[in-house]
Every structure is written in C-alpha cells, then in structure tokens.
Amino acid sequence: MKISVKTPSKAELDALGVRSWPVWEKEVSTFPWVYDLSETCYLLAGRVTVTTADGSDTSFGEGDLVVFPEGMSCTWNIHSPVRKHYSFG
C-alpha cells in the first residue's frame, strides 16, 4: 500500500472542493493509525513523516495533497503542528 503525495494546483483544489472539507489539527506527537476508509487531505500547516507497516517512510507538509489507501496501517510522526483539510471515502 502506498501513500500518494503531490503539490496540487489551485484549479485541482477548487475542483475537489478542498476548502469546504472539515479541518483537523494535531500537536507534535507520534501515534498509530489504521485507515478504515481512504483519506485525501490537504495540509495547511505542519510537517509529518508516516511510516507504513512495511517500514516505508513518506514525508509531507504544508501545500501537499496526500492520499492514504483504505486498509493501511501506519504510524504518524508529527514534527510540527498540523492543520489540514480532509475527506474520507
């Protein structure tokens, strides 16, 4: 299972309706997570490294659009406080 990370254009963000998605915030921390549904998120602030169950690391931060696949188990390591828009499914 792979995490997809890209820097989207304003047009892509508008087409997805990202600005209407809920916002999630989290302080510097490390925690496990399992994705019951796929998640797409757009980082407004922060820096994160996610380590998947197979040991692969993916880093992303402010301005990145990230997609997590359904069923993925991982550990989040938040290096600087995160603020993101998110959408499940």
The domain ranges of the chain are 4-88
Which position has the token pair 């380590």?
A: 51
Domain 4-88 = CATH 2.60.120.10: yes
pTM check: above 0.85 = yes
Closest CA to 26 of 72, 69, 84: 84
Cα end-to-end distance, the chain, whole Å: 16
pLDDT in tens, 24-74: 999 999 999 999 999 999 999 999 999 999 999 999 999 999 999 999 999
pLDDT digits (tens, 9 = 90+) for 73-89: 999 999 999 999 999 99
Average pLDDT over residues 6-32: 98
